[in-house]
Amino acid sequence: MSMTGEEFTAALGDDISRAITRLGQLSAAGAVPDDLDVSRLLLVALKNELEAAEIAALWMATTPELEVKLALARQAGDEARHYRLILDRLRELGVEVEEIDPSKDPYSPMFHHLRQLQGTAARVAAGQFAREGIALVRNQCFIEFCEMRGDARTAALYRDQIQPDEQHHHELGRRLLARFAGGAEEQRSARAAAERTLELAEEIQEMARLRAGICRAPGC
């Protein structure tokens, strides 16, 4: 039996919520290494924000629907603004930021997965709906880490400025998916794209923990 776009989005949203809850638990699990500080995690965040801005900009150029094109334009601007806010906070924390250039580092498997997606339903499901939902729970873990380390200023930056944008992106993804995933093929591609996004998020998170001892890292 076929589903409407609204029914499909609700069902996929339930699956995403369960996966995101698990990712949040994994992000907050285990002891925090003594040498893991806020500055180190903010450097990770810079790369995430840059990749998110680039993906939104790349998709904007090849998205036919004006409403989605404009939503991607706003997201690219939001992520770029987050990058600048984080850079300013790193400067306040005493980090020499003049030579920082995350674009020189290899791009993540998540970036390459998102970049190759075709079709508005798949892109919205994987990007705004799934990835921005992941960002919300990871940012909350990071906020709690900052508060635990006594860094109220960074916690406030994420809670008051970055998180509202990510919530907007996630909810916009939900609304757009309900509109543009009305057919069986769109729903199939959207589910596959979202599920792969969630799988990659868990794989990347585990690799970061095992290789570099990084946990509690924010999203984008």
Angle value at C-alpha 78, between 16 and 151, nearest 5 degrees: 85
Residues sharing a CB contact under 8 Å with residue 148, sequence separation 6 or more, in sequence order: none
> What would the mean pLDDT of 54-76 be, rounded to a whole number?
97
Please give the C-alpha separations between residue 38 and each of 29, 93, 143, 145, 153, in angstroms, as whole numbers. Answer: 17, 9, 10, 8, 11
Contact between 37 and 212 under an 8 Å Cβ cutoff? The reply is: no
Query: Which amino acid does the sequence have at 155?
Result: A
Minimum mean pLDDT among 1-10, 109-118, 167-176, 210-219: which range?
A: 210-219
Q: Is the pLDDT confidence value at 96 over 50?
A: yes
pLDDT in tens, 2-50: 799 999 999 999 999 999 998 888 777 666 777 789 999 999 999 999 9
> What would the mean pLDDT of 120-134 be, rounded to a whole number?
96
Q: What is the pLDDT, as a whole number, of residue 214?
A: 63
Print the SS3 string covering 173-214: HHHHHHHHCCCHHHHHHHHHHHHHHHHHHHHHHHHHHHHHCC
Comparing C-alpha atoms, which of 98, 120, 108 is closest to residue 45? 108
Q: What is the pLDDT, as a whole number, of residue 202?
A: 86
pLDDT band at 219 (very low <50, low <70, confident <90, very high): confident
Contact between 126 and 117 under an 8 Å Cβ cutoff? The reply is: yes
**Whole-angstrom Cα distance, residue 22 to residue 25?**
5
Q: What is the pLDDT, as a whole number, of residue 203?
A: 85
**Domains in the chain, CATH or no CATH each:** 5-29+37-209 (1.20.910.10)
From first CA to last CA, the distance across the chain in angstroms is: 36
What mean pLDDT, rounded, does the chain reach? 92
pLDDT in tens, 196-218: 999 999 887 766 654 555 666 77
Q: How many helices (H) and strands (E) does the chain have?
A: 9, 0
Q: What is the pLDDT, as a whole number, of residue 13?
A: 96
| DSSP classification of residue 129 | I
